[in-house]
Amino acid sequence: MGTILDGKALAKLKADKLKEKVKILKEKGINPLFCVINIGENPASQVYIRSKGRLAKKIGIEQKLYQLPTNTQESEVAELIKKLNADPSVDGMMIQLPVPEQINITNLMEIIDPSKDVDGLTPANSGRLWQGHHFVEPATPDGIIALIDHYQIDLEGKNVVVIGRSDIVGKPIAALALERNATVTILHSKTQNPEFYLKHADVIISAVGQANLIKADMIKEGAVIVDVGINHVDGHLVGDVDFDDVKNKAGWITPVPGGVGPLTVEFLMEQVVKLARRRNDRK
């Protein structure tokens, strides 16, 4: 069986270290404050917000939730963002995804102050990432790179195939793998003959949201499999990869749960602390 890439254990290790850093910041009078804007009643979002809140509390970060009704207009969210931009006690903010259909998230990303952008999704910060200037990175791609580094997997010259092209996972992980000198291919719903790319992949990073998308016969022996997908099947949480089928052929593989997910939450906290320190340094 391939080596399990244990995201949960790495997240715990990193959270313990971050807690120490926050303790020192607090002694200097810096109290990181992180605001989450949630629009509507998506049940998965409620779960994520609770798990962020738990970790924030453990690390010593204050999380403030702005819960808005499903029918909130984009202009109202824009007003809230402007208020948080102007509030010097706020270190970072994020808008929980998905948002209701009347809200255009791209418009709102134009308004968030890039120095308070915990998700790294403002145009300034996503542009910076592609230019190799790391101001703040989206948490999931950062977590994936940390996991790959922790297990000393070298991406240089490797064929990395990313499945999915979202702004929050697919595109930024492609940028980070490219920066590590991988040869990167991005697959999406219109890709013809995905099997061709998958069978040549040294590393597959799947961020689609479809259970059992990846089977053993599609991958190369010894490949690194990173499963970002979160799917609920018969009351169980599963990824995009058919784990039991793929685990014996893969060289390394992330489980779901316990792989990328816990690192996402941990790295959101890392970003909050990074922004809080930077804001304080500028004072």
Ligand X SMILES: Nc1nc(=O)c2c([nH]1)NC[C@@H]1CN(c3ccc(C(=O)N[C@@H](CCC(=O)O)C(=O)O)cc3)C=[N+]21
Which residues are annotated as part of the binding site for NADP(+)? 164-166, 230
Would you say 60 or 259 has its CB closer to ligand X? 259
E strand spans, the chain: 3-4, 33-39, 62-68, 92-95, 159-163, 183-187, 203-206, 224-227, 231-233, 236-238, 252-253
Tokens of 157: 């010259």
CB-based contact 1:60 (threshold 8 Å): no
The entry of ligand X, ligand NDP, none that residue 95 binds, CB within 5 to 8 Å by partner kind: ligand X
Burial class from Cβ neighbours inside 10 Å (0-12, 13-18, 19+) for residue 58 reads middle
Q: Show Cβ contacts of residue 116 under 8 Å, excluding neighbours closer than 6 positions.
A: 84, 85, 90, 91, 92, 93, 275, 279
- Using the rule CB under 6 A, is 48 a contact of ligand X? yes
Active-site choice (52, 116, 171, 274): 52
Tokens of 187: 């697959």
Q: Is 52 a catalytic residue?
A: yes
Residues that bind ligand NDP (CB under 6 A): 140, 163-166, 168-170, 187-191, 207-210, 228-231, 260-261, 264
Other Cβ atoms closer than 10 A to 170? 23
The entry of ligand X, ligand NDP, none that residue 103 binds, CB within 5 to 8 Å by partner kind: none
Binding site as annotated, residues: 164-166, 230
Q: Which among 93, 48, 103, 49 is positioned nearest to 71, based on CA atoms?
A: 103
Q: Is 119 a catalytic residue?
A: yes
The entry of ligand NDP, ligand X, none that residue 238 binds, CB within 5 to 8 Å by partner kind: none
The entry of ligand X, ligand NDP, none that residue 208 binds, CB within 5 to 8 Å by partner kind: ligand NDP
Per CB under 6 A, which of residues 235..264 are in contact with ligand X? 237, 256-258, 261-262, 264
Give how many residues touch ligand X by CB under 6 A: 20
Q: Give the Cα separation of 70 and 73 in Å (integer).
A: 9
Active-site choice (6, 91, 113, 119): 119
The set of catalytic residues is 52, 96, 119
Residues near ligand X, by CB under 6 A:
47-48, 51, 94-97, 119, 139-140, 168, 230, 237, 256-258, 261-262, 264-265
